[in-house]
Structure 1
């Protein structure tokens, strides 16, 4: 016979680009603000970057997506440099 109990399922985080649904609406207000901004700006997302950043931060804070540095998500110009690196050259 077959033994179905021998293999255990190991959950893994989703790949980049797949997002769990926000079942509890934890980031719904951020999403609504972002979507309203898009509608008001004829879906020009370059005008809604602050709202987009806030929405992604909410999702990361609630484990609805993998934590990523905002620089890697396209918000390098909107992130304060860490105070330890303020007057330092970043070259090795």
Structure 2
């Protein structure tokens, strides 16, 4: 049985996961948003469906402060909370 090990022959280069891990907010840039979201969860028995606006605001803060990768909010499940596009002139909503 050989007990020799090949130290140094293989190099491990860690890479961050694509999704699911967030850098810590060491400077507290989004602390107020996090606290608002957590308060909402506590008040609603941790039913996150009732705190979607707070969740959206928290994730927007994290993206704005480079604490997570920018993602379209539609991909994060907030399509129903997005502002509708402004009406176009072809919609017939123009005034003379």
Query: Which band: TM-score by shorter chain?
Result: 0.7 to 0.9
Gaps of 5+ in 2: 1-10, 92-96
Any idea what the Cα deviations from partners look like across 1:46-75, whole Å, max 9, x if unmatched?
A: 000000000000000000000000000000
Distance 1:27 1:56 in 2: 9
Q: Which residue of 2 aligns with 1:57?
A: 60
- Mapping for residues 1-92 of structure 1, pairs under 5 Å: 14-83=17-86
User: Could you say which structure has the larger radius of gyration?
Assistant: 2
Structure with greater helix share of residues: 1
- Number of aligned residues: 80
Gaps of 5+ in 1: 1-6
Distance 1:20 1:63 in 2: 9
Which one is further off, 73-82 or 61-70?
73-82
Alignment root-mean-square deviation, CA: 2.6
Q: 1:14 offset after TM fit, Å?
A: 4.4
